[in-house]
Amino acid sequence: MRILLVEDHPQLADSVAQVFKAAGWTVDVLHDGVAADLALASEDYALAVLDVGLPRLDGFEVLAKLRARGKTLPVLMLTARGEVKDRVHGLNLGADDYLAKPFELSELEARVRALLRRSVLGGEQQQHCGPLLYDLGTRRFSLDDEVLTLTSREQAVLESLIARPGRVMSKEQLAAQVFGLDQEASPDAIEIYIHRLRKKLEGSTVRIVTFRGLGYLLEQHDG
């Protein structure tokens, strides 16, 4: 899953990004509101963590622009402002959660997991596709009760597919979840990850189907 982190304090941004990357998420880090607004308008994210006190555009303005475009992307606001009126203002603009500074990184990670669970998995802790099970809490895939060993990019591809049951995802959409802004997104590389995943799903009733010119679909079949 790909997360946008917008925080103008470099040291804090780096600490949060390291926690998110350790959790296996793809993270884009930006430091001002204008850059954040452009990224949110053009990139595909599962969630945004947005500081209120940003240069050029503050977090409230970025959030307002996001919601004005009709985007329902989950947003967690970070702020040094502890006043109730500021929290209420952010929530009224469409924020999904609010965390005041200073905060524990473990709490931030837990809140992000909760938002992802509600938005990506419909509130469920686990997602199934036949004998393939994904647990959001542990971020582990198991097949027939055996844990699958996946690289981070294989994991990102399979997470994207299992979170969208019955939906075909293009190579470009999958690449957007695998590669960050600081990496060269390669839709053709997705074919390599799909091939590897198919090998790991061999012998089961779960398969990744190719729809030529459209993309890939994860499904259960009868044999």
The amino acid at residue 66 is L
User: Which fold, 126-220?
Assistant: Arc Repressor Mutant, subunit A (1.10.10)
- The pLDDT value given to residue 180: 76
Residue 208 DSSP class? E
- The pLDDT value given to residue 122: 57
Domain segments of the chain as ranges: 2-120, 126-220
- The pLDDT value given to residue 81: 67
Write out residues in the chain with pLDDT < 70, as ranges.
81-82, 120-125, 185, 223
- The pLDDT value given to residue 183: 74
Note whether 49 and 78 are within 8 A (CB). Answer: yes
- The pLDDT value given to residue 26: 87
pTM above 0.85, yes or no: no
Tens of pLDDT, residue by residue over 198-222, are 999 998 999 999 998 899 999 988 7
The amino acid at residue 168 is V
- For residue 216, the SS3 value is strand
- For residue 55, the SS3 value is coil
Tens of pLDDT, residue by residue over 22-46, are 888 889 999 999 999 999 998 889 8
- The pLDDT value given to residue 79: 87
Going by DSSP bridges, is the β-strand pair 97-100/47-51 parallel, antiparallel, or unpaired? unpaired
How much of the chain is in helix, strand and coil states, percent to nearest 5? 40, 25, 35
- The pLDDT value given to residue 38: 95
Residue 107 CB burial class (10 angstroms; 0-12, 13-18, ≥19):
exposed
Rounded (10°) CA dihedral 183, 31, 27, 68: -110
Note whether 93 and 67 are within 8 A (CB). Answer: yes
- The pLDDT value given to residue 18: 94
- The pLDDT value given to residue 29: 96
* Phi, psi (degrees; rounded to nearest 5) at 165: -60, 135
d(CA 199, CA 107): 37
CATH 3.30.450.90, domain 2-120, yes or no: no
- The pLDDT value given to residue 120: 67
Residue 203 CB burial class (10 angstroms; 0-12, 13-18, ≥19):
exposed
